[in-house]
Amino acid sequence: IAIKDVASFAVASLDNAAARNKSIELGGPAALSPLDVVNIFEKTQGRKFELQFVPEEILRAQKDAAPDPLSETFAGLILAVASGSEVDMKTKMDGFSIHLTSVNDYATKVSG
């Protein structure tokens, strides 16, 4: 999700009954895996990226051994991204009039 879309949701949530006392997991307009996003950026930039994969068990061990809550949260975020957690925004858009930025549009903007 583009940072401007996160900001738009934050502002739109202030006086929106659909957001009152709720946590809303946000994502972009298409449910994409991290590798889908990498592929879009590779196409936009016209080059292949060098990827490194860390085994899930190592990431889980890093989370379990975190010395403080911030480190544990960060390790959990990395684990979620590595697991390819996609967010489907179709039903979450009800009650919000926000136009979400596609990864392709964002990649084109920052690559040009």
What is the tens place of the pLDDT at every residue in 20-50?
Answer: 898 888 888 988 888 899 999 999 999 999 9
Output the pLDDT for position 23.
87
d(CA 35, CA 51): 10
Output the pLDDT for position 92.
76
Both structure tokens of 51: 């990827």
d(CA 6, CA 103): 14
pLDDT tens-digit map of 50-107: 999 889 999 999 999 999 999 999 999 888 888 776 777 877 777 788 999 999 999 9
